[in-house]
């Protein structure tokens, strides 16, 4: 796991989140707060807000890098986002999404990819999507290599096309049972926690009681052990695009648009910058400079050009 100092942050009595502490939170019924972040400033904000887990999600492909889906993002891009976020964190557990194509080919490939996130980006753990035999094998191999793994079942965006689009999963008894089998298999393979995405609340509640590891919900009701939201959705960075399962807590798009518009207006009307935004020079030094710079206007100087 990360070699970042795992002591309390200066000025705070909060200790760094650990896997045993997460397990204890589930046992005690303490809600777990998880949030996505993708860079240094958002990591710092998550730190100051007291978030328990920060996920550097492959959703960064869409909300930060501007791709049309999560499958496009590369390992190198995810490493860059995770490393930047790591520099803003001390206490939350940092989990990095392993992007599409980084683990499917073989157990060996999965372990090597996971090791890069730990060694190069300082991740405490990685997350894989899906609970089929392939994913279960990859989880077991990564855990055996000493790297904690978070699972992810239900709506898995990397395979959304195969699931018929980004729609809720487990809405029939048979499909809900399939989610149960996947979650149990991931738990048995060694996952320390599982994300349930877009699963009926009643199904998620039943499975949360079934599993001994923490369940983090997103669009899975309020009876999971914790919740996760995408930073840009909850802050209203992209108006009108928040999914049904998200809640918008701010209107950053409106605030940023207003601030930048005001700045542009100030520049065009000469209101910015003002004297308070600049720097002064000693009057004597200014006279010396004016004398020196006058030589630049001489005919000799112009001929030299």
Mean pLDDT of 46-58: 97
Residue 160 has pLDDT above 90, yes or no: no
Residue 81 has pLDDT above 60, yes or no: yes
Give the model's pLDDT for residue 156.
82
Mean pLDDT of 198-214: 97
Residue 284 has pLDDT above 60, yes or no: yes
pLDDT tier at 3, thresholds 50, 70, 90: very low
Closest C-alpha to 71, from 62, 63, 79: 62
Identified catalytic residue from 197, 206, 276, 302? 197
pLDDT tier at 166, thresholds 50, 70, 90: low
Mean pLDDT of 267-291: 96
Give the model's pLDDT for residue 7.
42
pLDDT tens-place string over residues 185-198: 999 999 999 999 99
Residue 167 has pLDDT above 80, yes or no: no
CA angle 25, 51, 68 (to 5 degrees): 115
Give the model's pLDDT for residue 5.
42
* Per-residue CA distances from 302 to 8, 296, 297 (Å): 64, 8, 7
The fraction of the chain above a pLDDT of 90, given in percent, is 84
Q: Give the three-class secondary structure for 49.
A: helix
Residue 286 has pLDDT above 90, yes or no: yes
DSSP assignment, residue 153?
E
Residue 29 has pLDDT above 70, yes or no: yes
Mean pLDDT of 94-110: 97
| Domains in the chain: boundaries | 19-252
What is the spatial distance between Cα 219 and Cα 80, in angstroms, rounded to a whole number?
28
pLDDT tens-place string over residues 107-155: 999 999 999 999 999 999 999 999 999 999 999 999 999 999 999 999 8
Mean of all residue pLDDT scores within the chain = 91
Alpha helices in 163-276 (DSSP H): 173-189, 201-210, 231-234, 252-268
Give the model's pLDDT for residue 299.
66
Q: Which pairing describes strands 125-127 and 215-218: parallel, antiparallel, or unpaired?
A: unpaired
Instruction: Assign domain 19-252 to a CATH class.
Output: alpha beta
What is the spatial distance between Cα 280 and Cα 289, in angstroms, rounded to a whole number?
13
Give the model's pLDDT for residue 14.
85
Place of tokens 């790297």: 147
The fraction of the chain above a pLDDT of 70, given in percent, is 90
Give the model's pLDDT for residue 159.
56
Mean pLDDT of 19-42: 98
Residue 6 has pLDDT above 70, yes or no: no
Residues ≥6 apart with Cβ < 8 Å to 280: none
**Is 285 a known active-site residue?**
no
Q: What is the pTM of this model?
A: 0.89
Give the model's pLDDT for residue 9.
46
Residue 2 has pLDDT above 50, yes or no: no
Q: What is the 3-state secondary structure (H, E, C) of 68-134?
A: CCHHHCCHHHHHHHHHHHHCCCCCCEEEEECCCCCCCCCHHHHHHHHHHHHHHHCCCEEECCCCCHH
The secondary structure of 25-38 as a DSSP string is HHHHTPPEEEEE--
pLDDT tens-place string over residues 210-265: 999 999 999 999 999 999 999 999 999 998 877 788 999 999 999 999 999 999 99
């Amino acid at each position: 796991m990360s070699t970042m100092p795992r002591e309390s942050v200066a000025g705070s009595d909060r200790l760094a989140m650990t896997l045993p502490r997460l397990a204890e939170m589930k046992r005690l019924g303490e809600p777990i707060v998880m949030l996505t972040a993708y860079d240094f400033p958002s990591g710092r904000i998550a730190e100051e807000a007291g978030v328990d887990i920060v996920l550097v999600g492959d959703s960064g492909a869409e909300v930060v890098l501007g791709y049309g889906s999560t499958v496009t993002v590369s390992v190198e891009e995810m490493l860059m986002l995770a490393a930047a976020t790591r520099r803003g964190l001390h206490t939350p557990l940092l989990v990095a999404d392993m992007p599409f194509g980084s683990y499917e080919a073989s157990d060996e490939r999965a372990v090597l990819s996971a090791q890069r996130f730990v060694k190069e980006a300082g991740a405490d753990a990685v997350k894989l999507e899906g609970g089929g035999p392939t994913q279960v094998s990859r989880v077991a191999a990564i855990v055996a290599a000493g790297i904690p793994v978070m699972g992810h079942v239900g709506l898995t965006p990397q395979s959304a096309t195969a699931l018929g689009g980004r729609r809720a999963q487990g809405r029939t008894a048979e499909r809900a049972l399939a989610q149960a089998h996947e979650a149990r298999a991931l738990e048995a393979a060694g996952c320390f926690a599982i994300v349930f995405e877009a699963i009926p609340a009643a199904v998620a509640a039943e499975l949360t009681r079934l599993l001994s590891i923490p369940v983090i919900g997103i669009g899975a009701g309020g009876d999971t052990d914790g919740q996760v939201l995408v930073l840009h959705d909850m802050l209203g960075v992209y108006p009108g695009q928040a999914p049904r399962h998200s809640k918008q807590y701010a209107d950053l798009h409106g605030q940023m648009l207003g601030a930048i518009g005001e700045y542009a207006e100030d520049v065009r009307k000469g209101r910015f910058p003002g004297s308070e935004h600049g720097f002064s020079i000693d009057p004597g030094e200014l006279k010396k400079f004016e004398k020196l710079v006058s030589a630049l206007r001489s005919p000799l100087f112009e001929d030299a050009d």
